[in-house]
Chain A
Amino acid sequence: MADLTLRQIKKAYGSLNILHGIDLDIESGEFIVFVGPSGCGKSTLLRTIAGLEEITSGELKIAGEVVNDVPPSKRGIAMVFQSYALYPHMTVYDNMAFGMKIARENKAEIDRRVKQAAEILQLTKYLDRLPKAMSGGQRQRVAIGRAIVRNPKVFLFDEPLSNLDAALRVATRIEIAKLKESMPATTMIYVTHDQVEAMTLADRIVVLKDGRVEQVGTPMELYHHPGNLFVAQFIGSPAMNIVSATVEKAGLVTAIAIDGGLKAEVPVATPDDAGGAKISFGVRPEDLRIANGGNVLFEGRVDYIEQLGEVQLVYLDIGRADVPLVVKLPGNSVLKRGESLKVDADPGTLHIFNADGRSYAREQTAAKAA
């Protein structure tokens, strides 16, 4: 039941700046995912929200109240750590009851809340166990249970699944999604470097890089309308193909010459002064298809094929040093290595980015809004 407002949050360790002024508005009940490469400051941002790290400058509000100097326990948050951070010498029950015992709540109430959380997470059988006698997945559930018992306004998760094996990760991901559904009023902030988790869980994703917000949006917004090259390549797997190109004719529809010879018309508006500019042209592997006559986008030799069953990833050598063009084709397409292939794409799926890496489409919307 809490909205968060971050205004120019900066964090430095000594002279080392980690966060460079984060602005963010999170609505109450939202599921927000911070995603970004390792070391970009996701955990640091989450920990400043939790109050585990002091904010160097800026303002953090939870439910309208400035909490810069409020200790973690008074912020109405609960946090689930990557390492679970269960108290090793306490039983599952005591782990979950610890916070309430510290707060000297009455026994019956503690018991009720712990049992209830255990019920939700199917931990009732294990309440007397020590953490070391449990599997990774169970430990993670205890950590989540400990958070639930605190009855927080904001749930914080720091890479909660990265210590689990692949199968368990999927199962626990779904459990977390269901948990969120059962607590619609609770705000959740979830940190991960895994874009699949981000895409599947988030109401909105915040993409971070080097301590800066690159883009905020719903998963589909980020997928279809990446604001810049970084987001374009970070979201989606395999990553978007980027090749350099030159604007031949600016306008509502931009005509470009892709390095290497071929030309394309992209239905994205570019300002008039963009004529002749060096740009980056992007297209997702899954948007490419075998050209059936008409306008060919790329032409190259099949260098390597990864057959995944339902799809295959075809690496096309289009004359760019070391960087093949990746094409995702149906698994039943019959292709041979060395074969020459022509591919094209729906014009609506093409992206162009200016020399600074910003998406022209986004510039356009921004200009319209202004």
Chain B
Amino acid sequence: MAQASGKSAGKSFFGKFGVHLAVLVFVVIWTVPTLGILVSSLRDKDQIIASGWWNSFASSTQTEAGRLPPPENQVEKDGRFVIEGNIFGDDPPRTISAFGTRAAAPTQYAAGETADLGDGVTLQLNEDGTFVLSSPVALEGSRGQRVYFASSAPPRFTTENYETVLFSEGIGRSFINSLTVTVPATVIPIMIAAFAAYALAWMRFPGRALIIATIIGLLVVPLQMALIPLLQLYNGVGLFFGVPSKTYLGIWLAHTGFGLPFAIYLLRSYMAGLPRELMESARIDGASDFEIFLKIVLPLSFPVLASFAIFQFLWVWNDLLVAMVFLGSGANQLVLTGKLNALLGSRGGDWEILTTSAFVTIIVPLLVFFSLQRYFVRGLLAGSVKGG
């Protein structure tokens, strides 16, 4: 302890500065994309296409196409046939900076200028969208004049995307599916692992070392290797009891199984680091193993329980593979990661849908992380530093 603080006190100014700089870089790398997704998801879908999210607080300029009212609206005025009005109609007002009548030159004239369309026909388009089309002879035809204009709209933020995504795109349902998978898949392994970890840390019984060694061995078994045999086993058992093969129970058990070795390992090393005298004191006070576990070890292990909960929660929440294998792809079983994957295919170009769905997906991990973050680091250290 004294040594460690001595070291940091002895660090040079540049050393500290370097650390701060590195931290800053990481913070920026982590937060900027998240912020980008959040901002994009709240923007109007047309503006997302027009400009990047970092410009979202400035007005966005976009080139639009419009059509003037058809010739039947013309009135005769001072010997000229005139159509007047506002090009935006009932749309939200924008500011026009330039306009044109040919697609090849959509910003030929500045706003307020009078454009000569040939044959004595003139068009004046003002900044606020009001226009005057004037012709020496009566205009004919059934369709109005085509007009192109560059308009700049004030930034518009909206929660429409969220409404769309949650209620009509099915993300809401997937969100609930994900929670249905994740919460039990986090709680069940913690409960099992806590008991196992206490027994492996503090109870003496034959074969204990062997069990610990086996668990450490299981830590390095790749999930992909065990997945299919596990599914077959589960299906076999399911068939025997006449249960369908793709159920929430199945995925809870699968995640529990994959999470347990790490959970037991992490909790055991933390619990083993608790002072032995505490358990002995409790034993002299007459507490049984169960009471020691419940009243002493469990409350003192809260940091590591929280830390494992974060790990497991994030991993299960972000998991796609196990969910694809153990759950169906119907609306009532498709989890968020699967849904996002599907959306990428069907709505690949709709950024407002994708960013919003992405943010809905990361909001829960973010909340979990920020509410439990102080246990996160402590728990990480617990595995390596005894008693940390």
Contact = CB atoms under 8 A, between A and B. Distances in A.
Tell whether A and B belong to one assembly.
Answer: yes
Given A85-B280, A88-B300, A103-B286, 16 more contacts: A51-B284, A72-B280, A73-B286, A73-B287, A74-B286, A77-B284, A85-B275, A87-B281, A87-B282, A87-B296, A89-B299, A99-B284, A99-B285, A99-B286, A102-B291, A146-B281
A204 interface: no
B278 interface: yes
Interface of B: 275, 277-278, 280-287, 291, 295-296, 299-300
B270 to A, nearest CB: 14
Contact of A79 (B275, B281, B299): B281
Given A89-B299, A89-B300, A73 B280 contact: no
B281, B283, B287, B296 pick with most chain A CB within 10 angstroms: B281
Contacts of A77: 284
A83 B275 contact: yes
A141 to B, nearest CB: 15
Nearest to A84: B277
A25 B82 CA distance: 125
B283 A87 contact: no
Interface string A132-155: 000000000000001000100000
A347 interface: no
A17 to B, nearest CB: 20
Nearest to B277: A85
B196 to A, nearest CB: 22
B283 A71 contact: yes
Contacts of A50: 280, 284
B275 A78 contact: no
A120 interface: no
A244 B300 CA distance: 58
Contacts of A150: 284-285
27 contacts: A51-B284, A52-B283, A52-B284, A72-B280, A73-B283, A73-B286, A74-B286, A77-B284, A81-B277, A81-B280, A84-B277, A85-B277, A85-B280, A87-B278, A87-B281, A87-B282, A87-B296, A88-B300, A89-B299, A89-B300, A98-B282, A98-B287, A99-B284, A102-B285, A102-B287, A102-B291, A150-B284
Interface residues on A, range: 20 to 34
A83 B285 contact: no
A72 B284 contact: yes
A136 B262 CA distance: 37
Contacts of B284: 50-52, 72-73, 77-79, 99, 150
Contact of B283 (A72, A78, A89): A72
Interface of A: 47, 50-52, 71-74, 77-79, 81-85, 87-89, 98-99, 102-103, 146, 150
B286 A102 contact: yes
A98 B296 CA distance: 10
Contacts of B283: 52, 71-73
Nearest to A104: B286
A85 B287 contact: no
B245 to A, nearest CB: 45
A130 to B, nearest CB: 12
B285 A85 contact: no
Contact of B277 (A71, A83, A146): A83
A52 B285 contact: no
Closest A-B pairs by Cβ, 9 of them: A73-B286, A99-B285, A85-B277, A85-B281, A81-B277, A72-B284, A89-B299, A102-B286, A102-B287
Nearest to A47: B280
A74 to B, nearest CB: 8
Contacts of A83: 275, 277
Nearest to B291: A102
Nearest to A73: B286
Name, among B280, B284, B286, the residue most crowded by chain A CB atoms within 10 Å (CB to CB): B284
A84 B280 CA distance: 11
A77 B278 CA distance: 16
A88 B275 CA distance: 11
A73 B277 CA distance: 15
B1 to A, nearest CB: 16
A73 B300 contact: no
B240 to A, nearest CB: 44
A102 B278 CA distance: 15
Nearest to B279: A85
A50 B291 CA distance: 20
Nearest to A99: B285
